Amino acid sequence: MADSAHVDTFARDHLPPPSALPEFLFDRPELQLPPRLNVAAELLDAWVAQGQGDRLCVQGEIDGQPVRWTYAELQQRANRIARVLVHEMGLVSGNRVLLRGANSPMLAACWFGVIKAGGIAVGTMPLLRERELLPIVDKAEITHALCDARLADALHAVQAARPRLAQVLHFNGGGGAGSLEAAMAAQPPSFATVDTAADDCALIAFTSGTTGVPKGTMHFHRDVIAACRCWPRHVLRARADDVFIGSPPLAFTFGLGGLLMFPLAIGASTVLVEKASPDVLPQAIAQYRASVCFTAPTSYRAMAAQAAQHDWSSLRKCVSAGEALPAATRLLWKQATGIELIDGIGSTELFHIFISADEAQARPGATGVPVPGYRACVLDEQGRELPPGQVGRLAVKGPTGCKYLADERQAHYVQNGWNLTGDAYLVDADGQYVYQARTDDMIVSGGYNIAGPEVEGALLLHPAVAECGVIGAADEARGQIVKAVVVLKPGFNGDAALVKELQDFCKQTIAPFKYPRAIEFRTSLPRTETGKLQRFRLRDPA
């Protein structure tokens, strides 16, 4: 490892030991990265230094007003934010900064401001409640936060419970006294980006496993740049005149890469829409003349149904990820727009897409082949590679890989140098990787990963619930929905009113998208002799 620029050595101190890391591959010319590297210097400062600062960079809205920032304008705002972090909020390099907000130009400026200052960005989903933010703040030992003013309540509750989180500023709230914008206005627009090591941590992206306990995935500066030079360059092949748009939050690595890192890596521009739902995204595509779209299969299916009502003429590339792409959805979109979807599978642990196929190689039902820079295979339970046609565990290695933050689950995800993604795949006769299912109990609904045990934990807080089990149930529109099987305490009646009460209770306890859309009442749950819930029996309709 190179000499770190981080004064706060928390990230390096909590990396997995070298023996627990996957094998990293840097065997392509474009992956020969220098020992000193900063994502903000590479993706933002470099364009301005090359005289390209007047190129359009980010569009969207702030406080209801349209925004069009050039590369130079985004850089200046990021510089001011970096100065606020360092000179007013006391940030030292290596500190973790919580970022909380919907997709917006200001959130992008905050992200680059943190990176420029040598901080570590920790993005969070806007819908997360206090009980979901607390373990993130604790795990990453977060001391600073930049938060959208409209999402302040949950963070205030976290602050009250965790005095360590002492430095918080709010943005997108009108820019009055005490806001981040007011603090920025008092700072000059220049800042010397911290000279970080390529293997200094740039971000910690949190994901939830089947236990619902958050896992922090650590990504170096080199990981982000390597990801920019693999799938986008070899599969997406976008151009500098493209306009990117989509729905995944910047708190997801799918959104961070697709809507911020990848467009800026080629000098393109991006549109950041706060709520890019299927009824809003088509209008935004037409309004901004967007040409590259990122969203989940569920969204493409919904938009295909209303395709005749919208202008798709600017679109030329559409990327699907976040969940398995049904062949029927691929066909619907092609019939509605004439565009072949680019499918792909990635993971938070590896930052972005590692198996994919471009438009020419796309085939219904198949995900694709390993992206240049990555290798993949299908393994049996003993870690032996399986021949084509046999279902096993997907294993991947490349220039990025799993580095959990102080988490014993590293040994489960990384084995013998391979990243085991938790997906069951087979390789067909043509070498295409074909998705079968998740190998754990994660529910993938509408592009969101939802841990069943977390929903169970929320339901069990309700006074009517004695015990419960949560599974994924097949759904045509969303791929899966969350289904809860509930055993009630004596004296409660399992009727429609209680179903709605339990659903509303979950929405107030955990992020609303995680609530059970189906609830079934039973008198008992199937368990082993040792008391373990048998979820596979809950899935059996018999």
- Per-residue pLDDT at 441: 65
The rounded distance, in Å, linking the Cα atoms of 86 and 167 is 11
> Residue 320 belongs to what H/E stretch?
strand 317-320
Residue 219's pLDDT is 98
CA distances from 311 to 155, 287, 303 (A): 40, 9, 12
What is residue 44's predicted lDDT score, i.e. its pLDDT?
98
Which band of pLDDT confidence, cut at 50, 70 and 90, is reported for residue 528? low
pLDDT greater than 90 at residue 339:
yes
Q: What is the pLDDT of residues 184-195, one digit of tens each?
A: 999 999 999 999
Rounded Cα distance between 439 and 393, Å, is 8
Residue 237 bridge partners (DSSP)? none
**Burial profile 17-35: b = 16 or more Cβ within 10 angstroms, e = fewer:** eeebebebbeeeebbebee
pLDDT digits (tens, 9 = 90+) for 345-380: 999 999 999 999 999 999 988 999 999 999 999 999
By three-state DSSP, how is residue 345 classified? strand
- Residue 253 pLDDT greater than 80, yes or no: yes
CA atoms of 441 and 450, how far apart (whole Å):
9
Query: Residue 212 region, left (φ>0) first, then alpha (ψ -120 to 50), else beta?
Result: left
Please count the helices (runs of H) and the strands (runs of E) in the chain.
19, 25
Categorize the per-residue pLDDT at 138 as very low, low, confident or very high, splitting at 50, 70 and 90. Answer: very high
Confidence of residue 214 (pLDDT cuts 50, 70, 90): confident
What secondary structure does DSSP assign to 144-181, as a single string? Answer: EEEEEGGGHHHHHHHHHH-TT--EEEEESS---TTSHH
Which residue, chain included where needed, has tokens 């929903």? 455
3-state secondary structure of 100: strand
Residue of 394, 326, 424 whose CA lies nearest to 366: 326
> What is the rounded distance in angstroms from the CA atom of residue 377 to the CA atom of residue 226?
21
Domain 38-195 in CATH 3.10.310.10? The answer is no
- CA–CA distance, 79 with 522 (Å, rounded to integer): 58
Looking at residue 210, its pLDDT comes to: 39
> Domain ranges in the chain?
38-195, 442-539
Mean pLDDT of the chain: 93
Could you count the other beta carbons within 10 Å of the beta carbon of residue 512?
A: 13
- Sign of the CA dihedral running 108, 109, 112, 117: negative
452 — pLDDT class (breaks 50, 70, 90): confident
H/E segment holding residue 342? strand 342-346
Give the model's pLDDT for residue 241.
Answer: 98
Q: What confidence tier does 246 reach under pLDDT thresholds 50, 70, 90?
A: very high
In the sheet with 317-320, reading across from the earlier edge strand, the strands are 65-70, 56-62, 269-272, 243-246, 292-295, 317-320, 342-346, 353-356, 369-370
Q: Return the CATH class of domain 442-539.
A: alpha beta
Backbone φ, ψ for residue 244 (5° rounding)? -85, 150
CA count, 13 A, side-chain hemisphere, 456: 23
Among the residue ranges 85-89, 207-211, 240-244, 442-446, the one predicted with the least confidence is: 207-211
Percent of the chain past pLDDT 90, that is, above it, reads: 79
Give CA–CA dist 307/295, Å, rounded: 15
Residues 366 and 357: beta-carbon distance below 8 Å: yes
Name the helix (H) or strand (E) containing 481. Answer: strand 479-488
Instruction: Report, as an integer, the average pLDDT of 56-80.
Output: 96
Provide the whole-model pTM: 0.87
Specify the pLDDT at position 387: 95
Average pLDDT in the 167-186 region?
Answer: 94
Percent over 70 (pLDDT), the chain: 97
Angstrom distance (rounded) from CA 171 to CA 88: 15
Task: Please answer whether residues 4 and 12 qualify as being in contact, where contact means their C-beta atoms are separated by less than 8 angstroms.
Answer: yes
Helices of type H across 273-355: 281-288, 297-304, 327-337
